[in-house]
Amino acid sequence: MLLSGLPFCVINAFAYVSVFFKDPLETIELDTQQTAFSVVTALMVSTAFGKSTPTFFQMTGWIPDDTSIQSLLGALQGPAAGLLLASVGSLVFCATTAKSKNRDIFVWAIKGLLGGPLSITSLRESNALLTQAQDAERKKQARESS
């Protein structure tokens, strides 16, 4: 058999692709808003929790006073933690919702982590994927009813 030498995960992925119809949302491509969320989250978390942030501010002279730096970092840590928790929560929600809609769990988990709540909106608006057999049955019933 042609597929006998391939690892199980490759065969399983091949079966997944051949059974379900292709959907442009089933890629790890983020739209502009999801990319912006990802960039803002990464910058906020790295600035708020980075070990070299105080040194950077002192070296550049932007904030020379050490107490001002600490108060700025304290003010940034709350929103940064909120964005990080929103991303992790979106990962879990997207993964569980993707399974119920016959969508790729890995793709939507990554989209949820990187795109945050914006990925949840995208997944909610998408329809469940149909297998080729389900689509053929749906078309057959539509022909019979008309």
- 86 assigned to some structural domain: yes
Q: In this predicted structure, which of 21-30, 89-98, 105-114, 120-129 has the lowest mean pLDDT? A: 21-30
User: Is 119 domain-assigned?
Assistant: yes
Mean pLDDT of 1-11: 46
What's the rounded Cα separation, in Å, for the pair 16 and 55? 50
Tell me the pLDDT tens digit for each residue of 35-86.
999 999 999 999 999 888 888 888 888 787 888 888 888 899 999 999 999 9
In a domain, 88, yes or no: yes
In 3D, which of 93, 95, 97, 90 has the Cα closest to residue 113?
90
107 belongs to a structural domain = yes
Predicted local distance difference test score (pLDDT) of residue 64: 74
Give the mean pLDDT of 88-117.
92
88 is in which domain, residue-wise?
30-145
Structural domain count, the chain:
1
The mean pLDDT of the chain is 81
- Residue 75 maps to a domain: yes
